[in-house]
Chain A
Amino acid sequence: MSLEPVAYVRAAREPEEPPPMLSSGAIAWVRANLFSSIGSSLVTIGCVALAAYLLPQLVAWATTRAIWSASDGPACRQHQDGACWAFVAAKWDYLRFGSYPVAERWRVDVVEAIGAALIVWLLWMNAPRRAWGALLFFVVYPILAFILLRGSSLLGLPIVDTLLWGGIFVSLLTAVIGIVFSLPLGVLLALGRRSPLPAVRMASVVFIEFVRGAPFITILFMANNLLPLFLPEAWAPDRLLRPLAGIVIFSAAYMAEEVRGGLQSLNRGQYEAAMALGLNYPRMTALIILPQALTLVIPGIVNNFIGLFMDTTLVSVVGVTDFLEAMNNAIKDPVWAGPTIMTTGYVFAGIFYFAFCDGMARYSAHVERTLAKGRR
């Protein structure tokens, strides 16, 4: 048998075929990421079912079934299966300022605005003259904030007792003060922990480990109960100052470990080069080591700030009205008492903390990526 020779030469270009449907595009993605195996398919179906069951209920609870405006409780009381955002709106001023006198609340606004501007200056990596920003934030701002918030008879600002301070501004204040005072203290402790002098090293280690080993609440109790005992009667600290001291002590120990991480990750060559230039210890530390180490630990400091901001919810145990405590007080208001008030209040507080902390965390992750790029 002989085979007929088949001569075939393509004269024109074949039209291009699209890639097979199952190897690229949406369907391929779904196959690879949602239905790659039987187990994976079951998981996908389970997740979709859960979401389909929960999400509509949650969304309806928070939006369509919610009450957005009402002057007092009864409207929310009859309506049992939706959020009562009207309650949050009615209490918003209290949640922000606590019992701070209405006529003086502009002072809090000013302090918050200046603080926000300074923080943006410090955290914006390409901002001009960040050293000036740091000086303003760590030295001038605390004094200014203290005078504005507390009042001064010299400037004609009525004095507002710290008993009246409360709400979001106290939460922010405690966290910011915690950072402002604990960062320098933490830097000193971190340097002390790496010092060649045994007494300095021991003192730092004991302080850091002592504080980190104890729960924040016991530090607060200590600051609240023991500080007045350890100081002369005449210096007895204010009731807001005591927990603030506790926060600074607590935060400094964690900050020290953060800074120590930055110091350790510096190349040894930096130390050696600084010494070869003939710089003494203070100049080496201030001019070569700290500027690099502190830049490296900015993400860590921001994460510390987030943790501190959430930890400040505990100050209510020593009688300070922070945001969460203000929310607790607002929930107990008999005018608004109703079945959905408590859930509404806690969910709102949760959203507030989440938005704040998640935003900071995203910023810190962004800085971390930028820094990693620069070092590669």
Chain B
Amino acid sequence: MDPASAKPSSWLSDERVRGLIYQILLLACIGALACGAIYNAAINMRDRGIPTGFGFWNDVAGFDINLHLISYSNLSTYGRAFWVGLLNTLLIAVICIPLSTFLGFAIGVARLSPNWLLSRFALVYTSIMRNTPLLLLLLFWYNAVLKSLPGPRQSIGVGVVVFLNNRGLYLPMPVARAPALWFLGAALLAVALAAGFHVWARRRQDRTGARAPTVFVAAALIVGLPALLTAAAGPPFAFDIARLSGFNLRGGLHIVPEMAALVFGLVTFTAAFIGEIVRAGILAVAVGQIEAAGALGLHRGLLMKLVVIPQAMRLITPPLTSQYLNVVKNSSLAVFIGYPDLVQIFAGTVLNQTQAAVQVMAITMAVYLAISLSVAVALNAFNARYALKGR
């Protein structure tokens, strides 16, 4: 083309200039929206007499919370109530995550079982849980099951140590006795010895190829050492068992029905999803890997342990983590059955009492975002370490 006849191109058709214009336009729109929202909020809050600062944080809350891990009374501050709620949310997560992981792995493996009936059972369970709203499950367990149990006088006893009635679940409460510290020491020592043995066995295997029965040695150490101590010095814990006094059960570890329903509902619900993740992860391991391991002469147990599980875990971990986050997020359904979690206490009661909607919602969202982000960072670190290289 003759350069002289080419039209001088307008600066508007330069891709970079146009990109810049689009971005400025977008930012201007977002900025205008934000300014409008802040302006309206300022006017609305002034008109309705809504507090604008965080001064309410140190005001007296004036309401009771029936479950608090740190000391709390109705004379405590809203700030204290926030921490109580946050700890209650984390408590649910800490209880539900390991339980639903165990149950979920069991269900995932059951679905792949060569036993047709077992895999059908697992399938039915999974599809019921996945196609029913969690809220319905929680309401069912809380209202229709736990709340309609008999009263304390007709408690259902499981054995004679666990009791279930309409006021909750009563478990034996371990109470430390004198040898408890020694017991703890023995347990820690056993774990340390087992870890040491594992390292030694791994080195020896790398050097000579001989395998050592690590699992059995570790189990013998971890069970055996504390057991020996118990035999020598007596049990380290006494169990405080709930017993009927008057119209109620006293003593023991009392779990309020709200918490029992929430834990039970969340665990059974989440386990179905984890089961599917585990199944998909195991199925996704290439058949060639399994055949190659079989050709090397590995028997079924070693094949699972050395070839299938490590590869499946790489696929399982990311979705599993997002299920753990879902547990944290789903525990906010506590609102519906009255378990005092962060949302129920803070975004519910505190918001209604103080009317400080913007501040309260900002703090609540910040908490959940902080949890999500920290888990995401941990997951990225995991992926960076275990992702297949060179893909």
- Residue numbers of A with Cβ under 8 A of B are 32-34, 36, 40, 43-44, 47-48, 196-200, 203, 209-210, 212-218, 221-222, 225-226, 228-233, 306, 310-311, 313-314, 316-317, 324, 328, 339, 342-343, 346, 349-350, 353-354, 357-358, 361
Contact = CB atoms under 8 A, between A and B. Distances in A.
Given A221-B347, A225-B357, A229-B45, A213 B144 contact: no
A232 B42 CA distance: 10
B358 A226 contact: yes
B143 A342 contact: yes
Contact of A215 (B26, B132, B332): B332
A218 B343 contact: yes
Nearest to B343: A217
B340 to A, nearest CB: 15
A260 B131 CA distance: 25
Contacts of A32: 114
A203 B351 contact: no
B368 interface: yes
Interface residues of B, number: 56
A353 B131 CA distance: 7
Contacts of A311: 133
Contacts of B128: 354
B9 interface: no
Contacts of A198: 23
Given A199-B27, A229-B45, A358-B127, A314 B132 contact: no
Contacts of A339: 148
Interface of B: 19, 22-23, 26-27, 30, 36-37, 40-41, 43-45, 47, 50, 113-118, 121, 127-128, 130-136, 139-140, 143-144, 148, 325, 329-330, 332-333, 335-336, 343, 347, 351, 357-358, 361, 364-365, 368-369, 371-373
B26 A203 contact: yes
Contacts of B117: 33-34, 43-44, 47-48
B35 to A, nearest CB: 11
Contact of B40 (A232, A324, A346): A232
A232 B43 CA distance: 9
Given A40-B114, A47-B117, A229-B41, A310 B132 contact: yes
A112 to B, nearest CB: 20
B40 A229 contact: yes
Contacts of A203: 26-27, 30
Contacts of B325: 213
A364 to B, nearest CB: 12
A54 to B, nearest CB: 11
B144 A343 contact: yes
Contact of A222 (B45, B127, B135, B361): B361
Given A328-B139, A358-B131, A317 B335 contact: yes
Contacts of A213: 325, 368-369, 371-373
A217 B40 contact: no
Contact of B357 (A216, A226, A313): A226
Contact of A218 (B134, B143, B361): B361
Contacts of B40: 229-232
Given A197-B23, A353-B133, A217 B335 contact: yes
Contacts of B132: 310, 350, 353-354, 357
Given A214-B368, A342-B144, A350-B136, A229 B335 contact: no
A354 B131 contact: yes
B120 to A, nearest CB: 8
B24 to A, nearest CB: 8
18 contacts: A32-B114, A33-B115, A40-B114, A44-B118, A203-B27, A215-B332, A221-B343, A221-B347, A226-B357, A229-B358, A231-B37, A231-B40, A328-B139, A339-B148, A342-B144, A343-B140, A346-B136, A357-B132
A313 B136 CA distance: 8
B115 A40 contact: yes
Contact of B139 (A47, A226, A346): A346
A200 B136 contact: no
Contacts of B115: 33-34, 36, 40, 43-44
Contact of A226 (B22, B116, B361): B361
B140 A218 contact: no
